[in-house]
Amino acid sequence: MVITESKKSPTNNAVVKHKIFICKEHLEEFQSLSAESISFIEKEKGD
């Protein structure tokens, strides 16, 4: 799995991209942590 993040550079108008590679051995742990993070954000944000 590859996740690409794009951010605007603070020093100029260039876009800086970062790629995160997750191998299948770590995918299950990533999914669990991701679900936990999303749940926390939704709880703190409220409906």
- Structural domain boundaries of the chain? 2-45
Q: Averaged in consecutive runs of 10 residues, what is the pLDDT profile of the chain (47 residues)?
A: 87 88 91 94 84
Judge whether 18 and 5 are in contact, CB under 8 Å.
Answer: yes
pLDDT in the model for residue 47: 59
Structure tokens, 32: 């669990």
Handedness of CA 30, 39, 17, 3 (dihedral sign): positive
Cα–Cα distance between 19 and 3 in angstroms, integer? 6
pTM for the model stands at 0.55
